[in-house]
Amino acid sequence: MVNHWTASCASIPYGFTKEWKTPAETQSGASADCKAKAVALYQTMLEYGASNLRLVIGKRTSTSSGPRTLGLEWDSNAGSYVLDPTINWQAYRTSDLGQRAYIPFYAFAGSRKFRAARATLVAQN
């Protein structure tokens, strides 16, 4: 199901906006950027009972020169995954990604926020 939801968001045409869209606006079929797609996927997964889910601001690769991206990290019973509903159509195991892929800077999980420290997320007060 997670791959289906990720693919559904990935199929939405890309279009950057300064304003944040609601998940309902994102699912309407109009273009959406990484933040809109990630928030829509985040909400869907929460609605279906996913836990240990974080919105993550970071770089897609260590050599990415473009703007930052927003995706998700999910710790499930089957392992830890990175979900990027802007670029990827499926979830990838964190252990299968190299150290130069999906570099987190900040993460948000509900009311909790984290700062990345040497490729790990550290809780912030």
CATH of the domain at 110: 3.10.620.30
Residue 20: is its pLDDT beyond 80?
Answer: yes
- Local confidence band at 15 (pLDDT 50, 70, 90 cut-offs): very high
The model's pTM:
0.85
Residue 44: is its pLDDT beyond 90?
Answer: yes
Q: Which pLDDT value is given to residue 61?
A: 76
State the residue range of the domain holding 16: 2-124
Radius of gyration of the chain (CA): 14
Instruction: State the average pLDDT for the chain.
Output: 87
Contact 85, 102 (CB under 8 A): no
Rounded CA separation 5/20 (Å): 20
Tens of pLDDT, residue by residue over 55-106, are 999 887 777 776 678 899 999 999 999 999 998 899 989 888 877 778 888 8
Closest of 64, 72, 80 to residue 109, by C-alpha: 72
Structural domain count, the chain: 1
What DSSP character marks residue 27?
A: T
